[in-house]
Amino acid sequence: MMNIMEINGYQAIVQYDPEIEMFRGEFIDLNGGADFYAQDIDNLHKEGEISLQVFLDMCREDGVEPC
Q: Which residues pair with 59 in a beta bridge?
A: none
pTM: 0.89
Provide the domain count of the chain: 1
d(C-alpha 22, C-alpha 20), whole Å: 6
Residue 17 lies in a domain: yes
Q: How many CA atoms lie within 13 A of 11 on its CB side?
A: 6
Q: Taking residues 36-59, what's their average pLDDT?
A: 96
Please give the residue range of the domain that contains residue 7: 3-62
For 4-20, the pLDDT digits (tens) are 999 999 999 999 999 99
Residue 26 lies in a domain: yes
Cβ atoms of 11 and 3 closer than 8 Å: no
Residue 67 lies in a domain: no
Point out the least confidently predicted range of 11-20, 37-46, 58-67.
58-67
